[in-house]
Structure 1
Amino acid sequence: MSSLTIDNASTEGNNGAAGEADLFAALLDTYEPVLPERGQYITGTIISVDDNMILADVGAKRTAIVPPQEIARLDEMQLASIKAGDEVMLYVTRTPSGDDELQVSLERGLQFQDWQKATTLLESEETVDLTVVGHNSGGILVQFERLQGFIPNSHLPEIQHIHNKQAQSTAKSKMVGSVLPVKALEVSSQRKRLVFSARAAMPERRQQRLQELKEMEGEIVTGTVANLVDYGAFVALDGAEGLLHISEIAWQQVRKPGDVLRTGEEIKVKILSVDADRERVSLSRKALLPNPWQQFAAD
Structure 2
Amino acid sequence: MFESENGTGEEKALSPMWEFLGEEFDYRRPKWGDILDAEVVRIDKDAIIVDVGGKTEGVVPSQDLEMLDEEVRASIEVGDRVSVYVLRPESPDGDLIVSVNMARTLEDWQEAERYLEEGKIYEGTITGHNKGGLIVPFGQIRGFVPASQLVNLGGRQSPESRMERLAQMEGEKLQLKVIEVNQHRRRLIFSQRAAMRHLREEQKEKLLEELQEGDIRTGKVSNLCDFGAFVDLGGADGLIHISELSWQRVKHPREVLKTGDEVEVYVLRVDREKKRIGLSLRRLQPDPWTLADEKFYVGQIVKGTITNVVNFGVFARIDEGIEGLIHISELSDEPFDDPREIVHEGDLLPLKILSIDTARQRIALSLKQAPTLEELEGREALAEMVQVEETAPEEAPLPEMEKIAGEVEEVTPEEV
TM-score with structure 2 setting the length: 0.44
Alignment of 1:205-220 (within 5 A): none
* Structure 2 residue 97 is matched with structure 1 residue 103: yes
**Pair 1:48–1:165, CA change in 2 (3 A):** same
* Structure 2 residue 267 is matched with structure 1 residue 273: no
Q: Which residue of 2 aligns with 1:56?
A: 50
**Pair 1:275–1:204, CA change in 2 (3 A):** farther
* Structure 2 residue 177 is matched with structure 1 residue 183: yes
Question: Does the aligned pair in 2 maintain the 1:134–1:142 contact within 8 Å?
Answer: yes
Q: Match of 1:188, as an amino acid?
A: N
* Structure 2 residue 155 is matched with structure 1 residue 161: yes
Superposition deviation, residue 162 in structure 1:
2.9
Question: Does the aligned pair in 2 maintain the 1:122–1:184 contact within 8 Å?
Answer: yes
Alignment of 1:106-255 (within 5 A): 106-203=100-197
Question: Does the aligned pair in 2 maintain the 1:181–1:205 contact within 8 Å?
Answer: no
Which structure 2 segments of 5+ residues have no match?
204-216, 221-259, 268-276, 278-416
Question: Does the aligned pair in 1 maintain the 2:91–2:97 contact within 8 Å?
Answer: no
Which structure 1 segments of 5+ residues have no match?
1-8, 218-270, 279-299
- Provide the rounded CA distance (Å) in 1 between the counterparts of 2:184 and 2:264: 46
**Pair 1:133–1:22, CA change in 2 (3 A):** closer
- Provide the rounded CA distance (Å) in 2 between the counterparts of 1:53 and 1:187: 32
Q: Which residue of 2 aligns with 1:93?
A: 87
- Provide the rounded CA distance (Å) in 1 between the counterparts of 2:198 and 2:60: 43
Give 3-state SS (helix, strand or coil) of 2:82's partner. strand
Superposition deviation, residue 45 in structure 1:
2.4
Question: Does the aligned pair in 2 maintain the 1:88–1:110 contact within 8 Å?
Answer: no
Q: Match of 2:262, as an amino acid?
A: S
Superposition deviation, residue 182 in structure 1:
0.7
Q: Which residue of 1 aligns with 2:67?
A: 73
- Provide the rounded CA distance (Å) in 2 between the counterparts of 1:204 and 1:274: 26
Superposition deviation, residue 54 in structure 1:
1.5
- Provide the rounded CA distance (Å) in 2 between the counterparts of 1:27 and 1:58: 19
- Provide the rounded CA distance (Å) in 1 between the counterparts of 2:190 and 2:31: 34
Question: Does the aligned pair in 1 maintain the 2:38–2:83 contact within 8 Å?
Answer: yes
Question: Does the aligned pair in 2 maintain the 1:162–1:168 contact within 8 Å?
Answer: no
Aligned residues: 216
CA RMSD of aligned residues (A): 4.1
Superposition deviation, residue 187 in structure 1:
1.3
Question: Does the aligned pair in 2 maintain the 1:152–1:197 contact within 8 Å?
Answer: yes
**Pair 1:84–1:274, CA change in 2 (3 A):** farther
- Provide the rounded CA distance (Å) in 1 between the counterparts of 2:151 and 2:96: 49
**Pair 1:126–1:190, CA change in 2 (3 A):** same
- Provide the rounded CA distance (Å) in 1 between the counterparts of 2:102 and 2:53: 20
Superposition deviation, residue 155 in structure 1:
0.7
- Provide the rounded CA distance (Å) in 1 between the counterparts of 2:133 and 2:96: 42
Give 3-state SS (helix, strand or coil) of 1:37's partner. coil
Higher relative contact order (CA 8 A, sep 6+): 1
Q: How high is the sequence identity, in percent, across the aligned residues?
A: 33
